[in-house]
Chain A
């Protein structure tokens, strides 16, 4: 039905790779942060919360530019990582993954936080009376009960990451095969004469991916409810 060309496949596969890596790397940080925001009171909590949500409200081009300043070759963190660890973000697919991870982070954290907040803390107390140290309580009670929310956050984050455009193109440009994701490919195609058909195909692919992710997130949310009621 969709006659997808090799160049389009390259963009689709790159998008998938970027979004999957971004989601997987962001998840442990997301869980830790969600737990922190749900469970701990500390000085500067509202500031941290605001910073996490910043990519949601900042113009993506601003986020991308800030990433470039920080993680670019001459950026403070970027230079350090390149010189000491050999990790380069600028104009690489890894940079696209970083941009997508940062942009999708607020969406990834939110369902995780809500599901941790929804857990009955008395269950954790019960676990403690049965001899479970705090970290065991986390892994045997808190995390399993929050799992549907964690997965929902991952799905939403993935959906956001795969569609990210502004920050990515600002930070790592639009290099076919390296940093050209579905979004930036569509952007290039609609500026090219006769690019409409190819752009149309990629548009359909994006819609399918986004819808699939939303349906999956919804399904996980429903599972979460069932799980918390012990059915």
Chain B
């Protein structure tokens, strides 16, 4: 479960969002500049709200009145960025293992195999990120986030940097992820088609305000 009720001023722009969601995939929809990324960064703890609360899975991670701000690294979230952000000095296998190491989790070969198979990245394990295509990089980034065993997965326009062909290549993986990985997701996009395929709930943002909230049918 995710509960967000925040206000944030960023220069001239002000963001105000309030919603509670039990959905498996919350689609954050809006044009660029609507405040989607800022909102996701706040859920991740990379940005601090001026006022309000954020509750992930029953844990209050932000509460400005009570003075709570759990730092990003303790939020147990996964974050897939538009530009994969794989560590260039580590190979794919080491990138995948990074979250487990940082959280001192026991190694879980079964889970590792499941994620590697799900994303079809078994053949890439020895490679350096510099030798991967954009689509491959994004799949590895997904795997890396999943293997840190997050309780919430944030995806900020994960297909945004890919051309149409590549998008179609990754979308099926995301659908499988939604149906098999059992991790709730927040999926940011300005692409209606993408969200129709993936999201179970939509939060529509316009100029820093939530304009509608509900099922996928609000995307009309």
Contacts and interface: CB of A to CB of B under 8 A. Distances in A.
Interface of A: 120, 122-123, 125-134, 136-137, 140-141, 144-145, 227-231
A230 B98 contact: no
Given A140-B98, A227-B88, A129 B79 contact: yes
- From A132, A133, A227, A231, residue with most partner B Cβ within 10 Å: A132
Interface residues of B, number: 29
Contact of B73 (A131, A145, A229): A131
Nearest to A227: B89
The DSSP consensus for interface residues of chain B is: mixed
- From B44, B102, B131, B154, residue with most partner A Cβ within 10 Å: B102
Contact of A131 (B85, B86, B102, B154): B102
A227 B89 CA distance: 6
A35 to B, nearest CB: 17
Contact of A130 (B102, B129, B154): B102
A230 B44 CA distance: 26
Contacts of A133: 71, 73, 102
B144 A230 contact: no
Contact of B131 (A127, A137, A231): A231
B189 interface: no
B182 to A, nearest CB: 19
A97 B218 CA distance: 72
A145 B99 contact: no
Contacts of B81: 122, 126
A144 B89 contact: yes
Contacts of B89: 144-145, 227, 230
Given A130-B102, A130-B144, 7 more contacts: A122-B83, A130-B98, A131-B99, A133-B71, A134-B73, A144-B89, A227-B88
B31 to A, nearest CB: 23
A141 B130 contact: no
A126 B85 contact: yes
A129 B128 contact: no
Contacts of A144: 89
B44 A129 contact: yes
A85 to B, nearest CB: 38
Given A127-B98, A131-B76, A132-B102, A231 B83 contact: no
A125 B83 contact: no
Across the A-B interface, the 10 shortest Cβ-Cβ residue pairs: A230-B130, A230-B88, A129-B79, A130-B99, A126-B85, A131-B103, A132-B102, A131-B102, A230-B129, A231-B130
A128 B130 contact: no
B88 A132 contact: no
A129 B71 CA distance: 9
A125 B73 CA distance: 9
24 contacts: A122-B83, A122-B85, A123-B88, A128-B71, A128-B72, A129-B72, A129-B77, A131-B73, A131-B102, A131-B103, A132-B73, A132-B102, A133-B73, A134-B73, A140-B98, A140-B102, A227-B88, A229-B88, A229-B130, A230-B88, A230-B89, A230-B130, A230-B131, A231-B128
